[in-house]
Chain A
Amino acid sequence: MEQLLEQARRVSDQSEVFFQEQRSDSVSFENGLLKNIESRDQSGISLRLIREGRLGFAYTRNLRRPEELVQNTLATLPGGVEARYALPERFSPPDGGAYDSAIENLSNTQMVEEGQRLAAELGGKTAGQVNLLVYRSVTRVRLINSRGSDLDWRTSNYGVHLSLMYPGSYNAVERSWVAKKFEPVPEALPAFLLSLYNRSQTKVRPAGGRMKCLLLPETLYTLVWRIQSAASGKNIFENISPLKDRIGEKIFADNLTLVDDPRNSTRPNARGVDDEGTPCARYPIIEKGVLRNYYYDLNYAEKLGVPPSGHGYRTATWGGDAIATKPRPALEYLGLAPGQQTFDELLRSVDRGVLVAGALGAHSGNIPNGDFSFGLAPGIYLEGGEIRGVLEEAMVAGNIYQVLQNVIDLEDRVHPASEGYYPALFLDDVSVAIG
């Protein structure tokens, strides 16, 4: 890597080498039975350089000859991609504690046994179909640049994803467990899924209309995507965000606080720098309903004349390959602050409404505008504080700038979910179409 950086340094004003190596294993169970074991061992390297205000970028999986990668990177310069920003100077973040060496002792046999234990526990108490995934991964990243940055970090991840599927469909109630090393899934997690699933077997078809909505953490990405879009430095720069020039304004209900928290070492993957080597820290986006910050990578911070906020990540909308992806502004460590009531208390307080347990098609609405409209997969109908059954065809729709004014409360704890750590969210007055 040093040799590659040295060669790049000779032909550029600034240069950066990003190396990533990842080993992972996953064990999947379908219908309660072991289905598949997959292993991966992948590495790669990418080179970014800046010369006379222009960007060069190239990558490879197999660095056979460093000079070839430098040449490929230089070949992209005439395209004329502008880069006016400065790469970060040397910075030594404290150890994020994101790696636990105990992960190395975990065998695929142990993961199969844990899957079997969970499948038996769930399968013995429900007629629902049990699907689950047990996985672990170890990732090492090294990032060096021509301004002296030399960062090297490792993360370990262990996780379990449990789902109980409704007959005839892939609609399911789901929950995840994540850690830095093997830890048995707590009993409360399968118990929660069983409780929801076993009480929602009857198919019901009540009238649609405006009603209360209790969204499970697993479905909150649908609304958070719209906030991520509006607060992105890229969309502020491109003038398509409804939140432009509104820092300090009250946008949502008082009880809504959305924070990016990369250094929270109680969760896996904690870190002190982003994928560009910019220091990152706890960063509120929404605090008690008030818009506090937009988020930036180096590029969009420079364009907007503000300091970078440590949100340059090598991700794409649908995941992406870190090696092949240039950094872009992203919120990778989001969490919604918990509320006051337990999930059961929230559920018991619904006079008439829908429990949104799964979402379908959340990407199809007008995301920059804050509009959403998605199918319920499943939607569970609630009346008089009780679960009445599962809906066959239903959609919820609205605009986040309206519905997030009506946050009655949030659950008193957060759960790892798609793209963040969220509690259940209880909304009033949401449009629900039922077929």
Chain B
Amino acid sequence: MFPQLTAILSRIGADYADLRYEVKKETIITFNGRELTQVGTNATDGFVLRVLKQGGFSSVNFTREDQAEAAVRTALENAGLLAGHVSQPVSLASVPALEDAFSPSLPEDPRRVPLEEKLALTRRYNEIPYHSPGIATTQTQYAEIIREKFFVNSEGARIREDLITTRLGGTITSREGTLTQTVRVGGGGSDGFDRLRNQEGEFEKKTKIALDLLRAEPVEAGIYNVILNPDLTGVFTHEAFGHFSEADLIEDAPSMRERLTLGALLGNEKVSITDDPTLPGQLGFYRYDDEGVAVRPTALLRRGVLVGRLHSRRTAAAFGDPVSGHCVAEDYRYAPIIRMGTIYLEPGEKSFQELLFDLQDGLYLVNALGGQTSGENFTFGAEYGYRVRGGRVREMVRDINISGNLYQTLQRITGVGLDLTLSRTGGCGKGQLNVRSCHGGPHVLMEQMVIGGR
């Protein structure tokens, strides 16, 4: 593929150009209820061209090779139009022009597991909840997404990398009268199919929680001290803090950029946060981003002080920071944007029991149900929780949504556990979907959180 790509690049008269061709192979098996509704494997492909000319930087996506000439013309026109209007010409941070081919070595490569076996495993997990009366429906999906990427640029980079992501899970819904309760189940990763085996216990545990939730009381709206479990800590770290480490989100927001100056004291000294997509075996693992930059671990918050940011080549140059290798696309349909890889709040020293003792009265919240941020403010849901009284976990509660202000909340993290756990499924939507978005942390104690209740 590289000769065709370099031939297209060679026709472009610009200061810089890169071209990414990608084949995306998806295997999807879906059960809605007990009925199989989708099964199959498909491959699609396409190109993303980016051109920098006289300070104008533009991208064009196209799906057929015969559209390349028109795409080059459009990209040059758009770059010229930008160059004539932007106040700050774009430049790109210098990086070595790398040549490499990398395909992960997996203990059990999902491409070698027959479709029938994937179907049988999905069917078996999907059946587990139905062994218990009170389960209304399930939605269980096996998703295998393989990106075979070919990247070239006008500086001489030639990079081939495969990203192999699997996920097997979904939702379990219980019902009593008109009340339904839904919990998420399952997991996945980027380290092979074996990760998906032997998950019967997880499906059984989540079935019980879906049923228990029918009898749980809705939490009352108000202000609470809370302990978040590692999944919720991870979602907080990703949603509330992580997005504002993405340089493209703050680049053109002067008031946020001013507040997020490196060296600013933002949080309690117990709080340190890092993004490290080089951690082996984790969902967020990759070697090169979609600009051909080798990714590196990036410390973001050290003992409450902002020390780093996630960058593309463009924003690294604009901020005068080092490149980090975090410019990633969903697939061949998109130009890359800055994304978190594996972001986590670093573990502290407290056991879960010690955190409960410190909390005394409040809520223990478990597992995230989505989240969203808009700068200072964030909101995320908890799948379920428990009231805590006298340092002991008591009755289950439901309908929990948490809202907060980033800066205040970073100060209000007053206890950090020692039990770091990283997520096995992702799905960050920042205009594009990132199925490998990985987050985590330990249990943490947060004071004075707004709970929406019901």
Which residues from chain A sit less than 8 Å from chain B, CB to CB?
Answer: 30-31, 33-44, 56-62, 72, 75-76, 79-82, 108-109, 112, 116, 129, 131, 165, 167-172, 208, 234, 238-240, 242, 318, 321, 323-324, 326, 358, 360-366, 368-369, 371, 373-378, 392-399, 431, 433-435
Given the known A-B contacts A43-B64, A168-B259, are A392 and B405 also in contact in the complex, defined by CB atoms under 8 Å?
A: yes
Which residues from chain B sit less than 8 Å from chain A, CB to CB?
Answer: 26, 29, 32-33, 35-46, 57-65, 67, 70-71, 74-75, 77-78, 81-82, 85-87, 115, 119, 136-137, 173, 175, 178-182, 221-223, 249, 251-256, 259, 333, 335, 368-381, 398-401, 403-405, 408, 429, 433, 448-454
Residues of A within 8 Å of B87, CB to CB, are: 33
A60-B44, A365-B381 given; 19 more Cβ-contact pairs under 8 Å: A30-B253, A34-B82, A37-B82, A39-B60, A39-B75, A41-B62, A58-B42, A61-B45, A108-B81, A238-B136, A366-B398, A369-B180, A375-B377, A377-B374, A377-B377, A392-B376, A395-B221, A395-B452, A433-B453
Q: Are A360 and B374 in contact (CB under 8 A)?
A: yes
Residue among B249, B404, B454 having the largest count of chain A Cβ atoms under 10 Å: B454
Q: Are A396 and B452 in contact (CB under 8 A)?
A: yes
- A56 to B39: give the CA distance in the assembly, Å: 9
Residues of A within 8 Å of B70, CB to CB, are: 41
| Pairs A–B under 8 Å by Cβ, sample size 21 | A31-B254, A41-B71, A61-B45, A61-B63, A62-B45, A76-B39, A80-B36, A108-B78, A169-B375, A238-B32, A239-B175, A240-B173, A361-B380, A363-B370, A364-B369, A364-B372, A364-B381, A371-B454, A375-B379, A376-B403, A392-B377
Residues of B within 8 Å of A393, CB to CB, are: 377, 403-405, 408, 450
Q: Are A318 and B74 in contact (CB under 8 A)?
A: no
Q: Are B450 and A395 in contact (CB under 8 A)?
A: yes
What's the least CB distance linking B26 to chain A, in Å?
7
Q: Are B63 and A79 in contact (CB under 8 A)?
A: no
Residues of B within 8 Å of A363, CB to CB, are: 370, 372
10 smallest beta-carbon distances between A and B, as pairs: A364-B381, A169-B375, A79-B39, A361-B379, A375-B379, A30-B252, A395-B452, A76-B40, A373-B401, A435-B450
- A172 to B39: give the CA distance in the assembly, Å: 42
Q: Are A324 and B26 in contact (CB under 8 A)?
A: yes
Q: Are A40 and B403 in contact (CB under 8 A)?
A: no
Given the known A-B contacts A79-B115, A364-B401, are A129 and B254 also in contact in the complex, defined by CB atoms under 8 Å?
A: yes
- A395 to B149: give the CA distance in the assembly, Å: 43
Residues of B within 8 Å of A34, CB to CB, are: 82, 85-86
Closest A residue, CB atoms, query B239: A361
Given the known A-B contacts A57-B38, A168-B259, A399-B454, are A433 and B369 also in contact in the complex, defined by CB atoms under 8 Å?
A: no
- A168 to B404: give the CA distance in the assembly, Å: 14
What's the least CB distance linking B10 to chain A, in Å?
21
What's the least CB distance linking A208 to chain B, in Å?
7
Residue among B46, B57, B87 having the largest count of chain A Cβ atoms under 10 Å: B46
Residues of B within 8 Å of A79, CB to CB, are: 29, 36, 39-40, 115, 119
What's the least CB distance linking B429 to chain A, in Å?
6
Q: Are B374 and A369 in contact (CB under 8 A)?
A: no
Q: Are B252 and A38 in contact (CB under 8 A)?
A: no
Given the known A-B contacts A61-B44, A112-B85, are A38 and B182 also in contact in the complex, defined by CB atoms under 8 Å?
A: no
In-complex Cβ contact of A112 among B29, B81, B137, B369 (8 A): B81
- A57 to B37: give the CA distance in the assembly, Å: 11
Q: Are B433 and A318 in contact (CB under 8 A)?
A: yes
Q: Are A431 and B221 in contact (CB under 8 A)?
A: yes
In-complex Cβ contact of B399 among A56, A82, A360, A366 (8 A): A366
In-complex Cβ contact of B40 among A39, A57, A358 (8 A): A57
Given the known A-B contacts A168-B256, A242-B178, A360-B403, are A321 and B450 also in contact in the complex, defined by CB atoms under 8 Å?
A: no
In-complex Cβ contact of B136 among A168, A239, A358, A397 (8 A): A239
Q: Are B404 and A41 in contact (CB under 8 A)?
A: no
Closest B residue, CB atoms, query A34: B85
In-complex Cβ contact of A394 among B46, B62, B375, B403 (8 A): B403
Q: Are A394 and B77 in contact (CB under 8 A)?
A: no
Given the known A-B contacts A35-B252, A81-B37, A112-B81, are A435 and B404 also in contact in the complex, defined by CB atoms under 8 Å?
A: yes
- A60 to B448: give the CA distance in the assembly, Å: 52
Q: Are A171 and B404 in contact (CB under 8 A)?
A: no
Q: Are A38 and B335 in contact (CB under 8 A)?
A: yes
- A394 to B401: give the CA distance in the assembly, Å: 11
Residues of A within 8 Å of B35, CB to CB, are: 82
Residues of B within 8 Å of A171, CB to CB, are: 374-377
Q: Are A239 and B61 in contact (CB under 8 A)?
A: no
Closest A residue, CB atoms, query B139: A238
Residues of A within 8 Å of B119, CB to CB, are: 79
Given the known A-B contacts A59-B42, A62-B45, A108-B81, are A321 and B256 also in contact in the complex, defined by CB atoms under 8 Å?
A: no
- A59 to B65: give the CA distance in the assembly, Å: 18
What's the least CB distance linking A106 to chain B, in Å?
14
Given the known A-B contacts A108-B81, A170-B253, A234-B32, are A371 and B399 also in contact in the complex, defined by CB atoms under 8 Å?
A: yes
Q: Are A435 and B86 in contact (CB under 8 A)?
A: no
Closest A residue, CB atoms, query B181: A366
